[in-house]
Amino acid sequence: MTSIAATTRITTPTTSVRVGLTLSILLGLANLPVLFLDVDWGDSAPPFALLLLNAALGMVSVVCGAIAWNSGNRLAIRINAAALIINAIMIVPGVFFEGPVWIPVVSAVTIVATVTAVVLMMRRTSAPVPVID
């Protein structure tokens, strides 16, 4: 009976992946103070559970971004991308919010930054493929 050992392929992230990871870590850190700041939401404040989920996803982004920065672990990058995408989906209603003007602006900038971070993180280098005749 033979067994095949599973190998993990860990590589150093490229510059574009590291830029995406930096952007994702900054987005994750920006989600944390929302719980502790006294923000004037206008007439309709978001539910506390939604703010708590937003902060938890921010922590996931920070931790996974730090792990992927050092090791290039693709699973950490995928989990980070999933957390960013879920966070961006939760922010979409803020673009159409009819309260203070800063809320739609910050929501739109966050969504664009999230898309940029995910695209940069998920990039792969193209390795040359040998041609066999």
128 located within any domain: no
Residue reference for tokens 């931790």: 63
The answer to whether position 6 is within a domain reads no
Counting the structural domains of the chain, the total is 1
State pTM to two decimals.
0.79
In a domain, residue 133? The reply is no
Residue 2 lies in a domain: no
Cβ pair 85, 117 in contact under 8 A: no
Report if residue 131 sits inside a domain: no
Q: Give domain status of residue 40, yes or no.
A: no
**DSSP conformation letters of 49-68:** HHHHHHHHHHHHHHHHHHHH
Please indicate, yes or no, if residue 127 is contained in any of the structural domains: no
List per-residue pLDDT tens for the chain, 133 residues long: 555 554 445 577 888 899 999 999 999 999 888 777 776 666 677 778 888 898 999 999 999 999 999 888 889 999 999 999 999 999 888 888 777 788 889 889 999 999 999 999 998 766 666 777 6
Task: Report the distance separating Cα 57 and Cα 42, nearest Å.
Answer: 24
Structural domain of 101: 15-33+46-121
- Domain contains 82: yes
> Which of these, 23, 54, 20, lies nearest to 37 by C-alpha position?
54
What are the φ/ψ torsions at residue 29 (nearest 5 degrees)?
A: -65, -30
